[in-house]
Amino acid sequence: MHRLSFLDRFLPVWIIAAMAAGLLVGTVVPGLQDVLDAVKIGQVSLPIALGLLLMMYPVLAKVRYDRLDTVTRDRRTMALSLVLNWVVGPALMFALAWLMLPDLPEYRTGLIIVGLARCIAMVIIWNDLARGDREAAAVLVALNSVFQVVMFGVLGWFYLDLLPGWLGLESESVPFSPWEIALNVVIFLGIPLAAGYLSRRLGERARGRTWYEERFLPRVGPIALYGLLFTIIVLFALQGETITSQPLDVARIALPLLVYFAVMWAGSYALGRAAGLSYPRTTTLAFTAAGNNFELAIAVAIGVFGVTSGQALAGVVGPLIEVPVLVALVYVSLRLRRRWTNQEAHRD
């Protein structure tokens, strides 16, 4: 912990302050929510997109792209990630939504949509803070992005319409726009990935790897956390009034989300350890499995059901629970890293 920068070490403090600032700004500035919500690309909030791009670029600029082939050859990590993200994750969220929200169909549907939207953005920064494998994270989020375009609509039909019908439960037919999903992937992964790749290639070509990693990256690195805090402020400013006016509903939605994040992270971590993965690969596996693409979930819920719908509220609550929970898990990971390192040193 003492090796972390001042900004990283007190990250929970800054996040709590950002949440409070967002609530305050959204409450005391009349019309701010309407202004922020009106600036969109399709159903994607432009201020949120800006924050996420600022957050992701420095981390993707750190990736050594010449080492990606070592990750793609690791079929075990890739197979585990695909199973956790596209089989276990959606199934677990479906089960939790029906078990904990049987009387609230709008919130239940919103949570299932959150479970289908696998993380391709914010997980990058959680993985980096926890000292995970950057190259593996880049490959896995790219893999998730491809599967997201192909499988999101298929799994949405399966979990919202087909499977409930088989089980004798209430089903719902929800149209998903492949264009909206593809646009989400391009904005939240394609742009920062291209920027990060070009930065490394051009920077190393002009000044060499030593200059790039020892001079350039330390300068742009803090931008990632500034982008994270800006995104949190905008999220709370946009949705703070809704959250404070419906605290009991938010609590009902939060409970299955808390269980989901804890089970997915701990189960993935245990699976990676049992499979003999290194600490960096295990950490990357755990965070990519536990995180969700809240930008896509919110955009889909608003586009299909409307901005004031229960499905949209469930999508909004998702990141508001995910952010503090995964920040806490970053610190758990760093503790486990120290224990892991000590055990390996003791064996040697």
pLDDT in tens, 123-182: 888 998 899 999 999 999 989 888 988 888 899 999 999 999 999 998 887 777 777 778
Residue 3: the pLDDT is: 56
Q: Residue 344: enclosing H or E segment and its boundaries?
A: helix 310-347
pLDDT in tens, 44-58: 678 878 888 888 899
Question: Along the chain (348 residues), what's the average pLDDT of each consecutive run of 10 residues?
Answer: 61 83 80 71 74 86 87 89 96 97 93 91 87 92 88 91 92 78 81 92 94 92 86 78 78 95 96 93 95 83 77 84 89 88 63
Residue 231: the pLDDT is: 83
The CATH architecture to which 35-341 belongs is Up-down Bundle (1.20)
> Cα separation of 68 and 192, whole Å?
17
Residue 66: the pLDDT is: 86
Residue 100: the pLDDT is: 96
Look at residues 77, 156, 63, 67 and name the one whose alpha carbon lies nearest to residue 118.
Answer: 156
The model's pTM is: 0.85
Look at residues 190, 217, 220 and name the one whose alpha carbon lies nearest to residue 204.
Answer: 217
Task: Give Cα 93 to chain centroid, integer Å.
Answer: 15
